[in-house]
Amino acid sequence: MPRLRRGTTTVTLAAAMLMVGTQSAVALDNMYPNYDWTCYDGEMSNGTLCQTDNATFTVWSQGNVPGGVKTTIKNTIKNQFGPTDLTVSFQSSGTYTGDAETDLINQSGALPSDTIGITWCDDAVTSKKCDQHYVRYNSSVAEVGPINGSDVCHETGHSVGLTHGRDANPRVGNTDSRLGCMSINDVYSLGSNNRRNINSVY
């Protein structure tokens, strides 16, 4: 699923306080599957996200990912996903076939000018589990700005099954504060709701 260019949202202070007060205490299920797709082998142009296949979560970034982005990827995943029930490890090379495929392959390349990153399942093993996800980050910094921890948290969240608000149960707006970095806002934290959803599955 693509992450589009960050936007701005204006709300009054009173409305913002009301939203935080009422939403933060209510659980939101934004872990796939909730609605209308089945996990399948896809490609960047026609893929979708699924849950990863187990709690052991291996990560590798291809050589075309700039060094600074690799550092951001590693630090963000370690700090945001490491404290969950996932067992995160970073590999020195990617494994693309067999029973022990790398769970998340990061790459950099061309994307539409309004897209920061996109995630898709490359190797579905069941109707809801995927052995290997890819994330492509837009290589055109001039178009989307530098890839940051919010972008990495968002796309990595997709690779373990976290969805946008419109695919959550109940459905909510994509700026809902409970979505943490899975919102379309520039949020750097996974947040308690996403951690709870990850831990309930893995």
CATH superfamily of 28-201: Collagenase (Catalytic Domain) (3.40.390.10)
For the whole model, what pTM was predicted? 0.88
Per-residue pLDDT reduced to its tens digit, 182-193: 999 999 999 999
pLDDT bracket for residue 36 (50, 70, 90): confident
Per-residue pLDDT reduced to its tens digit, 68-119: 999 999 999 999 999 999 999 999 999 999 989 999 999 999 999 999 999 9
Residue-level pLDDT at 73: 98
Residues contacting residue 79 through CB under 8 Å, at least 6 positions apart = none
Residues contacting residue 181 through CB under 8 Å, at least 6 positions apart = 80, 150, 153, 154, 157, 187, 188, 189, 190, 191, 194
Q: Hey, where are the domains in the chain?
A: 28-201
Residue-level pLDDT at 141: 83
